Amino acid sequence: MVSLPSEGGVERSLLSWLDGVGWETHGLDGGRGAGVLDEAYERSNREVVYWNLLAEQVVALNDNVTEKNVDKFVSSLKRDLDVEHLMDGNRAFHRLLTKGKSFNIQRDDGASDTIYVDLIDHENPENNRFHAVNQFSVSRETTIRPDVTLFVNGIPLVTMELKSVAQDNDWHDAVSDLVAYEEDVPRLFVPGLFNVAADTMELRYGAVGAPREFYEPWNDAPEEFADDNATRQAIKALCNPATLLDLLKHFVFYEQQAGGDAKIVPRYMQYYAVNSILDRVAESEYDRGLIWHTQGSGKSFTMLYAAENLLSRPEVTRNPQVFIIVDTDKLNSQMRDQLANLSLEQWTEAESIDHLQRLIEEGSSQLVLTTIQKFEDVDPGVQGNDEVIVMSDEAHRFMEADLGSRLDAALPDCTHFGFTGTPVREGERHEDRNTFREFSPEGEDYLHRYTVKQGIDDGLILPVYFTLRHEMEWEIDEAGLDEEFEQEFRGMTTDQKREAIRENATARTLAELEPRVDRAVEEIDAHYDDHVAPNDWKGMVVTPSRRSAAMYGERLRQRRGDEEVEVLYTATKDDSDLIEQFHTDSEERDSIVKAFKQESNPKLLVVHNMLLTGFDAPILKTMYLDRNLKNHNLMQAIARTNRPAAGKENGEIVDFQGVFENIDEALDYDAETKAYAARDKDELYDDLVEQIERVMDIFDGIPKDDTQEATYDAVERVSTHPERREFKQQFRRLQNLYEAVAPDGRLVSEGIERDYKWLSRIHVAFKRTTSGEDDPEEEMREKTREIINDHVEIGEIKRDFPTYKLGEEFLEEVEGLDNPGVKASQIAHATREHLHPRENQNPRYKRLSERVTDIVERWHGEQIGDPEAVEALKSVEEEVLKVEKEADEQGMDAAEFAIYTHLTEETPETIESDEQAEAVAEEIVTQFRERVDRDYPGWRTNRQTIAEIERLLLDVLVVENDLGHLIRDNDEFVDAVRDYLVQNDG
C-alpha cells in the first residue's frame, strides 16, 4: 500500500530520531503519544506539566523532599505558572529550572529550614526523565495540540510544530502556528526553552517569545550527530538530552528591550565556538585561539556567552577574570549598553587607565569591559589573577602601534582569544600584521570559523553584488592643460616633473576633481532613483577625503534637497568653508545615524572614515564606493550592505574606484571568501534569468496570453499540490530578484519583462482566488506594482476570480465558475476561514473543520479529482450553515446549542433524552450568566472564572440532575463545556 507524505509521517520520523538519541518516546505507532503519559500520570487537559511525574522526580533528586511534603511543594510550584506576561514568567521559571526553588521544610524538632529544591539534575543528567510525545493537548481559553513536545521530569521544555511540504505547508506556517499557540495558551510556554518549526525539508528553532524573523537553522553538528539528512542532523544535534540541558543551564540570556524582555538563545556557530573556547581553556595546552566569524553572525553575543560560561563553570576555570577588549569608544558604548540590558551579573567597565590597573591588580573574578587604549599606561607585571582570559573584538586592529605589546605586558599570563570577521595576513615578516600568527598556535589557522558562505546559506547575511562605474569618459582641453602644466612646473627637469605628478596625482586628487564629482553625482542620483528608492531602501556614499565628501554632499543636496542627504566626517578648527558647512558634533551624528536606520530622512549618507565598522542598518541596500579599500577594510565595507530585511534580496556596491576590477587583488582571502564576499552584478541578472525560467516552467503547455481561458488554466494549475507551494515560494524569490535588477535594458530586449508581467497577472489572480484578498496587488513591491498598474487589467481579474464570504449566496454564485479546480480552492478557503475561529464554539465546527482538512489532503494527494472535491466541500459548507440555522430554529443561543449538541452527539449514552440535554444546557448557561463576573479584561483566563465554572457544573450536573458521571468519567467534558461558555461568551 502506498502511503502519501503527510505531517503524520514527519512527526513519526522526528520521534524516531529523538528515540535514537535518548528520549523515551510515545506516538511512534501513529497513535496519540501524549495519551499514554496522560493516563499514566493522571493529567487533565488544563495542565501543562505532568505533576505526578515531577513529584516522583523531585523526591528522587532531593534528600529533604519526601512523599509527605512533596504535594505542598508542587502546589507552590503551580502558582509559578500563574503569570500575566509570558516573558516575565518564563524568566522567573528559568531561574527555578537552573537554580532550584526555595522551600520551607519542617524539622523533627518543630523548627523550619529553607532549602533549595532541584527540578532538574544538571550535574547527573542520567538521573532525569526525558519524554518525547506527540499530540499534547492543552485546553485553557482555547485548545491547542502541538505536534511534538519534549518534557524533562514532566516539564515541557520544547514545543514542536511540524508541516509537510507535500500538503502545501512549510516551516513558515509552523512558525505562525507556534506564535499563535504562545498567544492562545501562554501557560504551556512559561517553562519552555525554545520552539521548533520544521517541515519535510527544513528546520528552524526560536526562543520562547521570539518573533518570526528570529527562527533560525541549526546547520552544524559534532561528528557523532553528523548526518546527510539536514533535518535529522539538526534534531539530533540540537535536541539530544545533553545539549538541551547545556543550553538550558548555560546559554540563556534575557535582554531588556522596549516593550518587555526578550529571551536570547545561541545560534549554532555561537554555541560551538563557545564550547571550543571552554575546551581550550580547560585543556591548558595552548594560550590563544582565533574565532573567525563573518560579519553579521553575532560575535558580540559569542563573547558574552563565553564570558558567562567561563565565570559560572568551575569545572573549566576556578576563579577567572575575563576581559572583553574593544578598540573604539563607540564599540565600548555599544557593548556596555548590551551588558546593561542583559541578565549577566558579574561585570564592570574600566572607566579610566587607573581604574583598569586597579582591576588588574585586584584580579576579582568578573567580566571587565575596556578599550585597548586604556592599556597604554598600565604598569607591566601587576596581574593579580593567574586565571585571566582575554577576548579581543575586531582582533585584526589590535596589532597597530604598540598597544598590543602594552596588553601583553600588563597581562603576561593570560589566555587570549581574537574575534574577527576580517583577519589580516599582510606579509610574512615579523613586523607585518598577521592575525593568524598573532592568535593561532602553530599549525592552526583558527579555533572556530563561520564563513561568508555559511552566513548567506543560513540567511543571516545577504549576498552582495557589485557594479563597476570607474571608467568615465572625460572631455579634456589638452592645449589648456598643457599650458597650465608648464606654468605650474616650469623650471623643473623632466624627471622632477614626473616625480611631482606621481606625488600629487593620487586617487584622492582625482576624487576631488570637480568634473569627475559632477559626473559621479549624476550617476548616483539616477541609480538611486531607479534601483534604491522605489522600495524605500537607502544608500551610502564612501569617499576618500573630507573635501570630496563635502563636494558630493553639496551636489547631491542640490539635486535631492537638504533633507534627503547628510554628510558625516570629523571636524577641525581650520577647515575651509566648503568642509565647515557639514560640521556635526557627536550628538548630531548620533541623531542622523538613528534617523537613517529608520524609514525617515536622510535617504543618502555621504561619509569619510565613519560607519564602515560596527554599523548595522538593514535598510542600507547600496554603497557608492569612491575609496580604494582592500582586504579587511573592504570586507567591513561589504558587510554594511548585507544585513537582511524583509523583501531585500541582496546588498549592492557601485564601484567608482575600480576596486572590484580585480577582486583577487582586492581581497587577500581564500577562494570561498572571495567567491561569496561580493559578486559581479551580472551574476544577479543570471540568477533572475534562471528564476524566471523556473517559474515559467510551472505553466508549461498553457498559452502565455491575456485570455480568460489562459488565466483560468494557470490559476487551476497552481491551486493544487505540488505546483501551489512551488509557485508561492518561487514567485516570492522571483519578485525580489526582479526588484533588485530592474531597471535594466536586457529585461526588455530579452523578453524577461514580458514574462514577468504575465506571471504578475497570474499571481494577483492566484492570491485573490486562494487567499480572499480584495487587493493583493497592494502588497506587491514598488516596481512590480508599477508593472501591474501599467499592464494588468485588474478589473478583468476581479470578474474572473471573485472572492465570496460564506453564506447562502455563495453556493449559488460559485456555480457560475466553470473551472472545478478554482471552485474547490474558493470553497475550501471560504469554509476554513469561517470555521477556524469557531472550532471551540461548537463540537460540530471542530468535526467539520477536520472533514475539510481531510478532503483537501485527499484532493492535493490526487486521491479524488476536482469535481469530487467540489461536491464534498459543498456538502461540508451546507452543514456549516445548518449549525446556526438549527440553533435559531430551536430557540437556543450559541452556548446552549453547543452544550446540547455535545450531550446529544458526543456523549449520547450519558443522558436519558434530548429534552434532558436541552434542559441541562439551558440551566448551565443560566447559572453561568448569573454567577460568573465577565465585566473585566482577562476574565476568560482568570483562575476564579475557571473555578466558578467547575462549581456551577457540579451544582447542575451532580446536585440537580444526578449526572456526576459526566465529570467523573470524562475530564474532557468539563474542558469542552468551559470552552463553549467562554468562546460564545454565554
Instruction: Report the phi/psi class of residue 335: left, alpha or beta, with left for phi > 0 and alpha for psi in -120 to 50.
Output: alpha
* Per-residue confidence (pLDDT) for residue 832, from 0 to 100: 65
Give the Cα separation of 497 and 490 in Å (integer).
9
pLDDT in tens, 159-185: 999 987 555 678 888 999 999 999 999
Contact yes or no for 23/241 (Cβ under 8 A): yes
Give the Cα separation of 564 and 582 in Å (integer).
14
Question: What is the residue whose three cell numbers read 498598474?
Answer: 789
- Amino acid type, 609: N
Give the Cα separation of 920 and 910 in Å (integer).
12
State the average pLDDT for the chain. Answer: 82
Q: How far is CA 405 from CA 412, 418, 895, in A?
A: 10, 15, 78
Closest-CA residue to 230 (of 208, 207, 206, 198): 198
- Amino acid type, 239: C
Q: Which three cell numbers stand for residue 755?
A: 514574462
* Per-residue confidence (pLDDT) for residue 805, from 0 to 100: 41
The interaxial angle of helices 866-889 and 894-901, nearest 10 deg, is 110
Q: Where are the alpha helices (DSSP H) in 313-352?
A: 329-341
The residues pairing with 391 across neighbouring beta strands, listed in sequence order, are 324, 417
pLDDT in tens, 553-591: 999 999 999 999 999 998 888 889 898 899 988 888 889
* Per-residue confidence (pLDDT) for residue 505, from 0 to 100: 53
Least confident of 58-67, 124-133, 309-318, 665-674: 665-674
Q: Which three cell numbers stand for residue 534?
A: 522605489
Residues above pLDDT 70, as percent of the chain: 81
Give the Cα separation of 611 and 637 in Å (integer).
9
| Mean pLDDT of all residues in 241-268 | 93
| Mean pLDDT of all residues in 943-961 | 81
Give the Cα separation of 540 and 57 in Å (integer).
59
Confidence of residue 913 (pLDDT cuts 50, 70, 90): confident
pLDDT in tens, 827-838: 676 666 666 666
Give the Cα separation of 336 and 498 in Å (integer).
52
In the predicted model, is pLDDT for residue 689 greater than 70? yes
Least confident of 83-92, 216-225, 249-258, 775-784: 775-784
* Per-residue confidence (pLDDT) for residue 432, from 0 to 100: 46
| Mean pLDDT of all residues in 446-452 | 90
Residues above pLDDT 90, as percent of the chain: 34
The interaxial angle of helices 782-791 and 723-741, nearest 10 deg, is 100
Residues in the chain: 986
Contact yes or no for 181/208 (Cβ under 8 A): no
Give the Cα separation of 824 and 493 in Å (integer).
89
924 or 38, greater pLDDT: 38
Q: Using CA of residue 365, residue 121, residue 98, residue 17, what is the dihedral sign?
A: positive
The interaxial angle of helices 51-61 and 70-79, nearest 10 deg, is 120
- Amino acid type, 585: D
* Per-residue confidence (pLDDT) for residue 782, from 0 to 100: 58
| Mean pLDDT of all residues in 923-940 | 80
Question: What is the residue whose three cell numbers read 558630493?
Answer: 552
Confidence of residue 886 (pLDDT cuts 50, 70, 90): confident
In the predicted model, is pLDDT for residue 817 greater than 60? no
In the predicted model, is pLDDT for residue 410 greater than 70? yes
pLDDT in tens, 341-370: 887 888 999 999 999 999 999 999 999 999
On the CB side of 551, how many CA atoms lie within 13 Å of its CA? 22
Contact yes or no for 884/866 (Cβ under 8 A): no
Closest-CA residue to 40 (of 50, 49, 30): 50
- The residues, any chain, with a CB within 8 Å of residue 294's CB and separated by 6 or more, are 421, 450, 451, 452, 454, 455, 461, 639
Confidence of residue 795 (pLDDT cuts 50, 70, 90): very low
pLDDT in tens, 600-646: 899 999 999 887 766 788 899 998 988 888 767 777 877 888 888 88
| Pairing mode of beta strands 260-264, 253-257 | antiparallel
